[in-house]
Amino acid sequence: MDSSTYPVWTLLPFPALVLAIAILPVVRPHLWEKPAFQGLVTAWCAVPVTVFALLSGRADAVAHASTGYFSFVITLGALYITSGGICLLGDLEATPRVNLAFLLLGSVLASVIGTTGASMLLIRPLLRTNQQREHRAHLVPFFILAVANAGGLLTPLGDPPLLVGYITGVPFFWTLRLLPLWFVYVAFFVGTFYIVDRRAYAKETQAALQRDRAELDPLSVLGQRNIAWLLAVVPAALLPEGYREAAMLVISLGSYFGTPREIHAQNGFSWAPIRDVAIIFAGLFLCLGPIEVTLAKAAPSLPMHAAWQLFWGSGLLSSVLDNAPTYTAFSALARGLGGSHALVAGIDPIKLAAVSAGSVVMGATTYIGNGPNLMIKAVAEREGVVMPSFLRYAGFAFSMMLVPHAVTTLAFWLLER
C-alpha cells in the first residue's frame, strides 16, 4: 500500500467523533457529562486508527499528533486556569455606554486570554450591572457574538481553531493580519448593540433606573496576581517546542496553587470544561492523520477552490460542529489547493485567512458552535436571564452576521481576482 494513502474506513472515526461531540450533549446530556463515557466514545473512534497507524509503519504520524495534542491542551489549560483565578466584582450603572464598554473590552481581551477566559471574566459583572433593568434580553446574545466568538480572531490564544493552526505551523503573529476582519465584525456587532441598547434603555421605568443607581458597587478585582500569570502566557507561547510546554505547566501550577479557594468558588471554577477538552481532543488529534492526507490529495478535484467558498464551508460546519476540528479539516483541504502567493504552513494565505475567519466567527451561529456559547448561556440562566431557544438564537445570530459576512465574502472574492 502507498504510504501516502489510507484505507477508506480510517476516514470515518474523525467525523463520527465530531458528530458525537455535537449530538450527544444535546440528546444525552447527563450521560455525556460523565468523563468515563466521553473517554469510551473517544477511544472507540481513536484506538482503531492509532493501532492501524502503528502497525502500518506510521508511528511518526502518531508521535506528531501526540505532540501537537499535548501542546494544544497545555496551552489552552494555562489560559483557562489563569483566567479562572481572576474574579471581577461590582455593579456599575447599567447605561448603554457602560454596556458598550463591556463588549469592547471583552472583544479585545478575547484575543489575549481566549474567548472562554474573556467570557467567563466579564459575563457575571455584566449581568450584575444590568440586574435591575427590565429590558435586557438582547445583552447576552450580543455578548456571545462579539466576545465569545469574533473577538478571538487576532491571535492563536484567542480561539481553539487558531491555536490548532499555530501548533501545526502557522506563525504566532500571522493572525494579526485578520485585524480588518476583526474590526468589521466587532464594529458591526457593538455598533448595532449600542443602538439596540439605547432603545431598550429608553423604555426602562423610572423605578428600575432609580433602583439601578441606588445599588451601585465599584468594580474590584480579586486574584490580581493571576494577571501576571496570564500575561506570561503570551511570551511562553513564543518559546521553542518543549520549553513552551514546560513554561505553560509552570504557569498553570503557579496560578492554581497560588489562588485562594474563595476566588475559585466565586468564579465558579471547575475542572470539567478543560477535562472535557483534554479527553475529546485526544481522539480528534489521533483521528486526524487520514483526514489531512486524504483531503490534501483530493482537494484539486473537489468543487471548493475559492477562498470565499472555504470561508462559507468552514463557517457553516463550525455553526453546528466544534470549530477546531472543522478548521483542521478545511485547512488540510486548503493545503491541497496550493496557491499563487507565498505559502503559510503550506497554505495560500488568502485561503488560510478564509478558513480561520469562517471557523472562528461562524461558531457564533448556534449555541453549540463554540464552547463558550453554552457556558455563557448556562451562567445567564442561573442568574435568572431568559435566553432564546436554540432556533430563535440561531435565527438572530445568522441575521446579525449577514452584513459582515457579505463584506467578508466580497473581500475574499476580490483578493483572488
Cα–Cα distances (Å) from 153 to 22, 178, 181, 290, in that order, read 22, 7, 8, 28
Whether 296 is covered by a domain: the verdict is yes
Its pTM stands at 0.82
Whether 312 is covered by a domain: the verdict is yes
Whether 7 is covered by a domain: the verdict is no
- What pLDDT does residue 40 have? 95
- H helix count then E strand count, the chain: 18, 2
CA distance 173 to 235: 12
Whether 263 is covered by a domain: the verdict is yes
Q: Of 374, 327, 322, 367, which Cα lies nearest the Cα of 351?
A: 327
- What pLDDT does residue 411 have? 95
CA 16 from centroid of its chain's CA atoms: 21
- What pLDDT does residue 4 have? 60
Residues 6+ apart with CB under 8 A from 205: 134
Whether 380 is covered by a domain: the verdict is yes
Full domain range(s) for residue 409: 12-415
CA distance 363 to 360: 6
- What pLDDT does residue 1 have? 39
- What pLDDT does residue 187 have? 97
Whether 98 is covered by a domain: the verdict is yes
CA distance 122 to 275: 22
Whether 105 is covered by a domain: the verdict is yes
Grid coordinates belonging to 266: 466565586
- Give me the residues of the chain with pLDDT under 50, please: 1-3
Q: Which position has the grid cell 489510507?
A: 6
- What pLDDT does residue 360 have? 95
Number of domains within the chain:
1
Whether 133 is covered by a domain: the verdict is yes
- What pLDDT does residue 355 have? 95
- What pLDDT does residue 3 have? 47
